[in-house]
Amino acid sequence: MPPGGPVDTTPPEVISVSPKPDSTRVDLNSKIEITFGERMSGKPTQESIFISPFPKEPFDYKWRGNRLILSPSEPLLKDKTYVVTIGTGAQDLRRNHLSESYTFAFSTGVALDYGSISGEVWMKQEDKFRTEPEISIWAYLFSDTIFIDPQKDKPDYITQSDTAGKYVFRNLSIGRYRLFAVEDLNRDQIWNPDKETVGVSTQDVELTSDYVSHDHIDFILALRDTTKPSLLNCQALNKNQVRLDFDENLRAESVLNPDNFKIKSISTSTSLKVNEVFYTESNTQNIFILTAEMNPEEKYELEVSGLEDESGNSLDTGASTCLFMGSAIFDTTGPKVVSTSPEDGEAIVPQDAEIKLIFDEPPSHSAVESSFSLSDSNGVLITGKSRWENPNTFVFSLDVFLSGRMKYQIKLEGENVFDLFENAMTDSVLFLTFTTLNPDTLGSLSGNVEILGETISRNIVVTLSLIDKARKRYQKSLPKPDSFLFENILPGKYMVGAYLDLNGDGDLTTGNPKPFILSEPFTFFPDTVHVRSRWETQGVELKFR
């Protein structure tokens, strides 16, 4: 035990406040007083106090022992309900935080407003989600003629998520609200997109005399890139290939459209045909264009349009062109496999795994499909369907599950695989092996999805994220609210959720403040779900409210 007794770990408490909670007809020149049970650390406590509606001019803060006095710089507003929140960031001199936020309200009019909005704040980390404490929640009163920009506009109401990531606005006036969750690092009530994560709600909220309360208004925090992508450089690698370098990764679907790239001769204005566009693995910052044969003596202008970065920002029109000299070099190198899934020698491969081969350039699709085979250790060929994820990524989907605890061989007869310029692969034959997992170790999980108040069909995606294994994720699509079953999944503890894929892109869109896009609706099962080997875990109910 340290000298003087045990270390103080008791959370501080709010003992009294003034004006008294729920009081009305409060004088417009009244001060706000908060008395704690012990001396507090000044700056973090002051930064954890939120007054709504947000005052145009800041209050003056003064300490008198355990008591904090907030004096308004200008009179309070007439006939207005004020809400004061002391967040969990408030701490005593031993850095013990409030165990939960403390909120009270008073009115300068004859009655209090009673509108409320509540929900949760989540943070995405790789493929998993966790609730996030001490995040500022901003509510703006708005109409169709008012655009809310959190980079410029300070909110009308502010509160903070508690230690469990939950928040609540109380005593709100009737009106229409737009909400954001912001990791307001510098406490300036302005969103800094370069440094501060932000979450967009799944809907705007309208409080009326008939509907004074809305819950489950949730957010997922993420850094939002607001900078337009730029084309940095372009260079001819050979007579038929040009490399483009951008300052960030781009959306793959916009990159792969040849119509987004125009090339013309500087001297004659003659167009150079673009035949194919590709990138290697997941790097969409460096793009490769396959063209008709270029003139090595000619200078060309490349113009790019229609591209977006991964945050949806359109290409900067001031940085969308570049010049390059034609090349006299012939392409004499054949395609090469640069990545595979499963990897060579990988064990514990799922029985329903897709086979993926990624090439460094587009090969002849028909040649790859006819030269590829998958067989088990007895030499039995496995049937499936071939498709191309992009011009240089081949995917083989199984017709049936693979056998458990079996070694499999992928074979690609490289001597029969050519690129678009008739160059064969360097490897005459490519062999890869992998081993499937033991099915006796697998389990299953079942449940149901419900959209409360709706019966219309929706594209629902149910997701399972294995908590103790990085990037292990399962998902299943449902055309409407219904039951679901995940079979043959690894045992362990899972986080289970679902979202409505409204834009059909196969991913959860978490919205954007500018240009404004609402988050797609999502929900999470409140508890961790434990899947055991050879056992079906049942009763997982996912509800969209």
Res 163 pLDDT > 90: no
* Residue 486 domain flag: yes
Show which of 383, 411, 439 is a domain's final residue.
439
CATH of the domain at 72: 2.60.40.3710
Tens of pLDDT, residues 21-70:
999 999 999 999 999 999 999 999 999 999 988 888 889 999 999 999 99
In a domain, 2, yes or no: no
In the three-class reduction of DSSP (H, G, I as helix; E, B as strand; rest coil), residue 540 is classed as: strand
Residue range 260-309, pLDDT digits in tens: 999 999 999 999 999 999 998 889 999 999 999 999 999 999 999 999 99
450 and 431, same structural domain? no
Residues 345 and 366 in one domain: yes
Q: By the 8 A CB rule, do 415 and 386 touch?
A: no
pLDDT of 457 reads: 64
Cβ pair 295, 326 in contact under 8 A: yes
3 state DSSP class of 535 = coil
- The answer as to whether 403 is a domain residue is yes
Segments forming the whole domain that contains residue 154 = 114-218
What's the CA angle centered on 46, arms 45 and 48, to 5 degrees?
65
Specify whether the CB–CB gap between 364 and 328 falls below 8 A.
Answer: no
pLDDT tens, residue by residue, 352-364: 999 999 999 999 9
Query: pLDDT tens-digit profile of 214-255?
Result: 999 999 999 888 889 999 999 999 999 999 999 999 998 889
Residue 226 covered by a domain: no
Residues 97 and 154 in one domain: no
Q: Tell me the pLDDT band of 312, cut-offs 50, 70 and 90.
A: confident
Name, in order, each residue with C-beta under 8 angstroms of 527's C-beta and a sequence gap of 6 or more.
Answer: none
CA 249, 255, 260, 263 torsion: positive or negative?
A: positive
pLDDT for res 377: 95
Indicate the pLDDT class of residue 467, thresholds 50, 70 and 90: confident
Same domain membership, residue 70 and residue 48: yes
Question: pLDDT value at position 44?
Answer: 94
pLDDT surpasses 80 at 139: yes
Binned at pLDDT 50, 70 and 90, residue 187 comes out as confident
Kindly give the pairing relationship between strand 115-125 and strand 213-214.
parallel
Residue 12 and residue 90 in contact, taking contact as beta carbons nearer than 8 Å: yes
If asked whether residues 343 and 435 sit together in one domain, one would say yes
Least confident stretch, 4-13, 169-178, 214-223, 324-333: 4-13
Indicate whether 455 pLDDT > 70. no
- 259: domain CATH number? 2.60.40.1220
| 132 has pLDDT over 90 | yes
Residue 490 has pLDDT above 60, yes or no: yes
pLDDT tier at 146, thresholds 50, 70, 90:
confident
Over residues 194-210, the mean pLDDT reads 95
The mean pLDDT of the chain is 93
| Helix count and strand count (H, E) for the chain | 3, 42
| Cα dihedral 316, 253, 151, 62 sign | negative
Residue 195 sits in a domain whose CATH number is 2.60.40.10
**Mean per-residue pLDDT for 108-121?**
96
Q: How confident is the model at residue 478 (pLDDT cuts 50, 70, 90)?
A: very high
Cα distance between residue 86 and residue 66, in whole Å:
14
Euclidean distance between CA atoms 295 and 282, whole angstroms? 31
Q: Are residues 205 and 122 in the same domain?
A: yes
Q: Among residues 218, 249, 265, which one ends one of the domains?
A: 218
pLDDT confidence of residue 351: 92
| Same structural domain, 98 and 26 | yes
The predicted model gives 467-494 an average pLDDT of 88
Q: Could you give the CA distance from residue 177 to residue 366 in angstroms, rounded to a whole number?
A: 55
- Report whether pLDDT(148) > 60: yes
- CA–CA distance, 504 with 482 (Å, rounded to integer): 19
Residue 456's pLDDT is: 61
Residue 466 belongs to some domain of the structure:
yes
Hey, what amino acid is at 292?
A
Total domains in the fold of the chain? 5
Residue 4 falls inside a structural domain: no
The confidence band for 4, taking pLDDT boundaries of 50, 70 and 90, is: low
The verdict on 132 and 200 lying in the same domain is yes
Residues 287 and 375 in one domain: no
Instruction: Tell me how far apart the alpha carbons of residues 232 and 86 are, in angstroms, rounded to a whole number.
Output: 48
Task: Tell me the Cα Rg of the chain.
Answer: 30
Residues 88 and 135 grouped into a single domain: no
Q: Say whether pLDDT at 454 is over 70.
A: no
Considering the domain boundaries, does residue 142 fall inside one? yes
Q: Which two tokens stand for residue 364?
A: 């002849």
Query: What is the rounded average pLDDT of the residues 163-167?
Result: 91
> CA nearest 433: which of 344, 341, 356?
344
What is the DSSP annotation of 125-139? ETTEEEE-SS-EEEE
Which pLDDT score, from 0 to 100, does residue 515 have? 81
Same domain, 483 and 512: yes
pLDDT of 87 reads 87
Q: 529 and 540 share a domain? A: yes
Q: Is residue 318 part of a domain?
A: yes
What local confidence, expressed as pLDDT, does residue 537 receive? 97
Taking residues 361-371, report their average pLDDT. 97
What is the per-residue pLDDT for 105?
97
Final residue of a structural domain among 158, 191, 218: 218
Q: What per-residue confidence (pLDDT) applies to 37?
A: 96
